[in-house]
Amino acid sequence: MKLKILIILSLVTIMFATSCTDDTTVLGNWVKKAYFVGSARSNGSSFAINGEGYWGMGKDEDDYLSDFWRYSPEQNTWTEVAEFGGKPRAYNISVSNGEKGYVGLGYDGDNDLADFWEYDPKTNKWTRLEDFPGGPRRFAAAFAIGKDIYVGTGITDNGKKYMNDFYKYSNGKWHTTISALSGEKRHSASALSFNGKGYIISGYRSTVLNDFWEYDPESNTWKKMDLLTDEDTGDSAIPRYQASTFVSEGSIYLVGGISSGTALSSVFEWSPVDSIWSEKASIESNVTRQGAGSFVINGNGYIIGGRNGSYYLDDFYMFEPWVEKDIDD
């Protein structure tokens, strides 16, 4: 009997010690980079060109902004570049085709906008192009496939009218024969391009949407992917709007955003190999955020700024997808 009691006590001691020292290992590590030099802001314009990142415009706690900044990863420094040529604004689209940056639409505090601009990093100049043919709107989505820019969805008329139309800017002009998004009309969806196709993730229309769409420019068609909440491939915590997204190491990453009226800090990865979403390490500061900027330099995704409630952020992080991070239970 004594032997049995001793064995049981030993097992209990081992289990207790293990539970006290157990760590959960998750993939993904956030590396803090130089704080943004300009004022803290959210819902601005971000893209990368030739190994450098850009962030600017947007809204701070007082104003709509038009300043613009360049980030050098080699020096880990921010430098102010040419001020945006149009009205100060937020909730606009911003995207790069690898050679030039494009910014347009949005809201200036009084009106929704439809103007469309090109930034040339070689000359450090902004040029106004032909206005967006879909009309004024904010919270639209945009992605680039090759040199072509695709813009669509969004909201206008003081939040009364949702859109699902799409247009292509190519060779200096707009093309209006692009298929509309097949799913719900929406605003604040996450958008990006990957392996020659465009993607629209979630968004908002009266409620947070849980769908995921792929656009094929060759066939001009939209394909519905597995729902973000699918029991086999998704997670009920994925759907969100005003999130940031980027491609790194052959996968799509979705960061922060809003769900059920609450800002998020969680990060999810979508792998094209098995079409499965999986959760990664939350952004390092663990501060929930919406409307953050994002771009990719040398294969690494970066997240900058955004806001947490009425608190605007100026922190800046690089994500390492495959670095293990130990989190104490």
The answer to whether residue 6 scores a pLDDT higher than 60 is no
Cα–Cα distance for residue pair 61/90, rounded to 1 Å? 12
pLDDT in the model for residue 287:
84
pLDDT band at 169 (very low <50, low <70, confident <90, very high): very high
The answer to whether residue 268 scores a pLDDT higher than 50 is yes
The answer to whether residue 299 scores a pLDDT higher than 70 is yes
The arithmetic mean of pLDDT across residues 28-40, rounded, is: 95
Lowest mean pLDDT among 49-53, 219-223, 253-257, 321-325: 321-325
The domain limits of the chain are 25-328
pLDDT in the model for residue 238:
98
pLDDT in the model for residue 157:
85
pLDDT in the model for residue 13:
38
The arithmetic mean of pLDDT across residues 236-263, rounded, is: 96
pLDDT in the model for residue 322:
86
The CATH homologous superfamily of the domain defined by 25-328: Kelch-type beta propeller (2.120.10.80)
- If one counts every other C-beta atom within 10 angstroms of the C-beta of residue 184, the result is 16
The answer to whether residue 5 scores a pLDDT higher than 50 is no
Among residues 196, 120, 185, the alpha carbon closest in space to that of 153 is found at 185
pLDDT band at 328 (very low <50, low <70, confident <90, very high): low
pTM for the structure as a whole: 0.91
Between residues 10 and 279, the one the model is more confident about:
279
pLDDT in the model for residue 8:
37
The answer to whether residue 33 scores a pLDDT higher than 50 is yes
Q: Is residue 277 within 8 Å of residue 235, measured between CB atoms?
A: yes
Lowest mean pLDDT among 67-81, 163-177, 220-234, 274-288: 274-288
Average model confidence (pLDDT) for the chain?
Answer: 91
The answer to whether residue 189 scores a pLDDT higher than 80 is yes
pLDDT in the model for residue 281:
93
SS in 3 state form for the chain? CHHHHHHHHHHHHHHHHHHHHCEEEEEEEEEECCCCCCCCCECCEEEEECCEEEEECCECCCCECCCEEEEECCCCEEEECCCCCCCCCECCEEEECCCCEEEECCECCCCEECCEEEEECCCCEEEEECCCCCCCEECCEEEEECCEEEEEEEEECCCCEEEEEEEEEECCEEECCCCCCCCCCEECCEEEEECCEEEEECCEECEECCCEEEEECCCCEEEECCCCCCCCCCCCCCCCECCEEEEECCEEEEECCEECCEEECCEEEEECCCCEEEEECCCCCCCCEECCEEEEECCEEEEECCEECCEECCCEEEEEEEEEEEEEC
The answer to whether residue 18 scores a pLDDT higher than 90 is no
The answer to whether residue 88 scores a pLDDT higher than 90 is yes
pLDDT band at 260 (very low <50, low <70, confident <90, very high): confident
pLDDT in the model for residue 159:
79
The answer to whether residue 19 scores a pLDDT higher than 50 is no
Cα–Cα distance for residue pair 266/49, rounded to 1 Å? 27
The arithmetic mean of pLDDT across residues 2-31, rounded, is: 51
Among residues 197, 204, 201, 245, the alpha carbon closest in space to that of 221 is found at 197
The answer to whether residue 26 scores a pLDDT higher than 80 is no
Among residues 97, 104, 161, 99, the alpha carbon closest in space to that of 129 is found at 104
What are the CA-CA distances from residue 235 to residues 63, 87, 240 (Å)? 37, 40, 12
